[in-house]
Amino acid sequence: MCWILVGCREPAGYREDARSAAAAGEAYALPRGERELPAIPDSPTPDDLLQYAFRANAALEAGYHRWHEALARVSLASAWEAPRLSFGYLTSSGEMRAWDRTTLEVSQGIPLAGRRAVRSRQAMARLSSARHQFEGMKFRIQMRILSGAARYAYLGEAIDLAREDLRLAEESVTLVATRLSTGMGTQAELSGARLREEEARNELRMIEARAEAARADLNALLGRDASLPLPFPSEEPLDEILAGDAEIFRLAAERNHELLDMAAQARSQRDALAYARRAWVPDLMAGVEVMGDIEARVTGLLTLPLRAGAIRAAVREASAALDAAEADRLATYDDMRARTVSALVMVRDADRQARLFRGVLVPEVGRIADLRAASYAAAGAMSDYRDVIEARRALLALRLGEARAMAARASAMAELEEVVATDRSLWAGPAPEEDE
């Protein structure tokens, strides 16, 4: 109905955009406080957090409304100008009837040189830009959610390891105090053990504080109150990147929404330049004038393009804006390539570290700790137990390193997904099992 009222033809692609916007807008049909949001389970997966955020994140909702705003502007850009109605009445006396003294004129501006078509194309380019900005915002929020969840899960693991480290430090204090009471230890050893205990307690409190801050950040991304409790997410499976570098670069060049947005903005500026050049073509106003039953005539008016300097300046301005948009697109492409390379490097390095920790270091140091514990149980030598504690502390440090590598990998994978703008199932799969 809108297109009938404004008197123009529906632009190609408009209906598809309208359907896509309507589907995306279902999540925001109600105010955030009245929406039915999915429950967050006791051990949420990253997908659980994403589904919640896609319905509650205010920045993403704002992006949708800007998309919807651009959709509404398309019909306005293609609309005819409102017709003009002028009225005159002859007040001099005479034998003329009132109707014969009345003059009515209806006129309509008629844009020439395809101006309406250019405005329509430009509005569609801006609509495409708004759509890609919304989709890009969705992937950026996905990246921030996945990275934040990985960090939050890492801090949860770090808290457990720090508590175990504190328990070992307290156990060491008890051991040294017992040795001192039997004359086998020194006061310096006891002071050192107590200092180590305080360091372990301080480390635990620092990690807990970082976890609280990370929880607040993650809650904000989820559209929740920052102080609300949030369970630590479950660990993500270790996926193997199956696609080669060339395929990943191809996907990024085709699907990256920031790059697509820059291309749409360049198209919009190209249409703006075409519109500025059409200012050399006169504007036409056509109308019909009626003076009662006495006279009827057709009128016409041309607006001549005599302000040549202003027209040339507008063309130069539009041309410069187009050059800037093209340069921005190239800069975005270069940045996209660099981010893709960086993310791939970080994923593969984190893979290497995770496999080193999981397949070599943690099992080997775990065996050493078990051997020292068995040796202590067999010999009963109090001095050997300090070696057991140190081996266990070394194992805790390696487990923390493994958790840190896994969090770094999840963050790099999240950035790669954001750059490529695709679900990882399209180009990644389960990692092969480690050989025993």
312 within 8 A of 286, measured Cβ to Cβ: no
Domain count, the chain: 1
Q: Is the pLDDT of residue 299 over 80?
A: yes
Nearest to 409 by CA among 134, 61, 128, 150: 150
Beta-carbon neighbour count of residue 249 at 10 Å? 18
Q: How confident is the model at residue 425 (pLDDT cuts 50, 70, 90)?
A: low
**Ramachandran region of residue 117, left (φ > 0), alpha (ψ -120 to 50) or beta?**
alpha
Q: What is the pLDDT of residues 169-210, one digit of tens each?
A: 999 898 888 878 887 778 888 899 899 999 999 999 999 999
State residue 1's pLDDT score: 38
Give the lowest-confidence range in 12-21, 286-295, 308-317.
Answer: 286-295
Question: Checking DSSP bridges between strand 239-241 and strand 428-430, what pairing results, if any?
Answer: antiparallel
Residue 423 included in any domain: yes
Q: What is the pLDDT of residues 108-129, one digit of tens each?
A: 888 887 888 899 999 999 999 9
Q: Is the pLDDT of residue 3 over 70?
A: no
The number of helices, as runs of H, and strands, as runs of E, in the chain is 11, 6
Residue type, 210: R
State residue 301's pLDDT score: 85
State residue 428's pLDDT score: 55
Give the lowest-confidence range in 22-31, 48-57, 238-247.
Answer: 238-247
Residue 265 included in any domain: yes
Strand partners, 1: none
State residue 382's pLDDT score: 47
Q: What is the pLDDT of residues 141-167, one digit of tens each?
A: 999 999 999 999 999 999 999 999 999
224 within 8 A of 57, measured Cβ to Cβ: no
Residue 327 included in any domain: yes
Q: Is the pLDDT of residue 312 over 70?
A: yes
Q: Which residues contact 189 (CB under 8 A, 6 or more apart)?
A: 176, 179, 180
Residue 110 included in any domain: yes
Considering the chain, what percentage of its residues have pLDDT values greater than 90?
A: 56
State residue 429's pLDDT score: 55
Rounded distance between C-alpha atoms, residue 406 and residue 430, angstroms: 15
The boundaries of the domain holding residue 76 are: 41-430
Residue 55 included in any domain: yes
State residue 297's pLDDT score: 84
Q: What is the pLDDT of residues 369-383, one digit of tens each?
A: 998 888 877 776 545
Q: Is the pLDDT of residue 427 over 60?
A: no
Residue 24 included in any domain: no
Nearest to 98 by CA among 106, 89, 109, 107: 89
Residue type, 196: R
Residue type, 403: A
Q: What is the pLDDT of residues 348-369, one digit of tens each?
A: 999 899 999 999 999 999 999 9
Q: Is the pLDDT of residue 8 over 70?
A: no
Residue 189 included in any domain: yes
Vertex 247, ends 245 and 250: CA angle to 5°? 110
Q: Is the pLDDT of residue 265 over 90?
A: yes
State residue 264's pLDDT score: 96
Rounded distance between C-alpha atoms, residue 318 and residue 249, angstroms: 32
Structure token digits, residue 85: 């109605």
Q: What is the pLDDT of residues 52-109, one digit of tens each?
A: 999 999 999 999 999 999 998 998 887 788 888 888 877 775 677 777 777 888 888 8
Residue 436 included in any domain: no
Helices 245-255 and 382-420, packing angle to 10 deg: 50
For the chain, report the end-to-end CA distance as a whole number of angstroms: 68
State residue 9's pLDDT score: 64
Q: Is the pLDDT of residue 134 over 50?
A: yes
Half-sphere exposure of 269 (CA within 13 A, CB side): 20
Q: How confident is the model at residue 435 (pLDDT cuts 50, 70, 90)?
A: very low
Rounded distance between C-alpha atoms, residue 307 and residue 311, angstroms: 6
90 within 8 A of 292, measured Cβ to Cβ: no
Average pLDDT, the chain: 87
Residue 347: CATH number of its domain: 1.20.1600.10
Considering the chain, what percentage of its residues have pLDDT values greater than 70?
A: 92
Q: Hey, is 56 helix, strand or coil?
A: helix
Residue 296's φ and ψ, nearest 5 degrees, are -140, 135
Task: Give the DSSP H or E segment for 419.
Answer: helix 382-420
Region 243-269: what's the mean pLDDT? 93
Task: Give the DSSP H or E segment for 298.
Answer: strand 295-303
Residue located via tokens 């003294």? 101
Q: Hey, is 277 helix, strand or coil?
A: helix
